[in-house]
Structure 1
Amino acid sequence: MSYAIIGFGTIGKALAKAFARKGIEVSVATTRAPESFASEAAAIGPTILAKALAEAVKADVIFLAVRFESHPDVAKALPTWQGKTIVDVTNAYGVPPEQLGGQPSSRFIAQAFSGARLVKGFNHLGAASLAQDPAVHGGRRVVFLASDDDDAAAEIGTLAENLGFAPIKLGGLSEGGLLVQARGNSWGRLIFKDLVKFD
């Protein structure tokens, strides 16, 4: 299984740190040339590989950690996303619901990535929390996952556990996705809830 993070802002870097802590290889890419951020990627850890966007999108699992408005640019990188799992880490805060056709922001994104299995996740935490070790007070930091594809949700749940998090599945995008999405001027009820699960 190969992994990539598209977007290398505060959230992309926080995700890269989670992979680096566990020594799991992940490609990081932006629309810029990889040389422009290669030293920053290397500073996070030896398993964080700066790549061109065209190279990074060859991964099986792709974390979409760009600004919501930028997702169409990423979607153009491949003619079809068949066989790929996209983890939507974006938030559509400030994007009017009518611009999304009244649907959850993740379903809107899923339309751009035709053929992909989409999981909404890792987006409810601020970058500072996401960047920290998820082992907290003897428990594990929670990440919420929502998807219309149960197999994809299970796959990302396993990855979340391998990264040290406690995944909690919220169901489909229309139910669970609304709890962890921002759109217009509203936040889902679980956004910014930094929770710890004790086994």
Structure 2
Amino acid sequence: MRIGVVGAGHIGGTAAKLFARAGHQVAVSNSRGPATLASLVSSIGTNAKAVSTVEAVKFGEAILLALPYRKMDALPPGESFAGKIVIDATNPYSATGGVMNLGESTSSEEVAKRMPGARLVKAFNTMGWNTLASGARPAHEERLVVFIAGDDAASKATVAKLIDEIGFASIDTGSLREGGHRQQPGSRIYGRPMTVREAKQILG
């Protein structure tokens, strides 16, 4: 699969490495331009290239959003994402570090409003980058969990397959509304590495 990664910080850079090592073609971008990504791309290997954000979105069949939520306005026009699977790893933190008040909505629902026609899946937002970097395990009950939420079953299945390929288990927390709330900062599953067994006990 061709995967565009928007945001090459800890989560974006780590996920890009894992996707590439699993055999996927990865195009990585950040706000500072491709020239600043030479070291990251070199460490990933032949399955990765550095591009502009516009090019990353155009390249990807799936797009990983790993930029700060408050910088969504810097993304290409929403129609650029139409028909693509958008994996939203963002969290609604303000510039001061507080969690934004979105009312009854969730951050991923707000992202989806910006991208009509995109198939949005919330994933990779509850796990710390260091756990993502070192926590991959063979398939068994003690695998660590990447939670996913979304309104499109086929897109969630595709993202679940990607998660499996990089060495983690996935658990579906529901729709963008229901699952989005379950995965928001401050929830019982946020920021805490857990196995499938532990996650099922918490979620019930």
Please state which band the TM-score falls in when normalised by the shorter chain.
0.7 to 0.9
Counterpart AA for 2:164: E
Which of 170, 194, 197 does residue 167 from structure 1 map onto?
Answer: 170
Counterpart AA for 2:68: R
Other-structure match for 1:46:
46
Q: Distance in 1 between matches of 2:139 and 2:163?
A: 18
> Aligned in 2, Cα 1:133/1:20: closer, same or farther, shift over 3 Å?
farther
Question: Which is helix-richer, 1 or 2?
Answer: 2
| Superposition TM-score, scaled by structure 2 size | 0.85
Structure 1 residue 39, shift from structure 2 partner: 2.3
Superposed CA RMSD in Å reads 2.0
Structure 1 residue 164, shift from structure 2 partner: 1.8
Q: In the alignment, does 2:68 pair up with 1:67?
A: yes
| Superposition TM-score, scaled by structure 1 size | 0.87
Task: Give runs of aligned pairs for residues 137-156 of structure 1, distance below 5 A.
Answer: 139-156=142-159
Indicate conservation of the 8 Å contact 2:35/2:50, yes or no.
Answer: yes
Indicate conservation of the 8 Å contact 1:5/1:12, yes or no.
Answer: yes
> Aligned in 2, Cα 1:46/1:79: closer, same or farther, shift over 3 Å?
same
For structure 1, which segment, 27-36 or 59-68, has the greater mean C-alpha deviation from structure 2 after superposition? Answer: 27-36
Determine what percentage of the aligned residue pairs are the same residue.
Answer: 37
Q: Distance in 1 between matches of 2:166 and 2:45?
A: 15
Question: Which is strand-richer, 1 or 2?
Answer: 1
Structure 1 residue 119, shift from structure 2 partner: 0.4
Counterpart AA for 1:189: R
Q: Which runs of 5+ in 2 are unaligned?
A: 198-204
Indicate conservation of the 8 Å contact 2:57/2:80, yes or no.
Answer: no
Q: Which runs of 5+ in 1 are unaligned?
A: none
Greater relative contact order, per chain length (Cα 8 Å cut-off, separation 6+): 1
Q: Structure 1: which 4+ aligned runs deviate by more than 4 Å?
A: none
- Total equivalences in the alignment: 191
Other-structure match for 2:10:
10
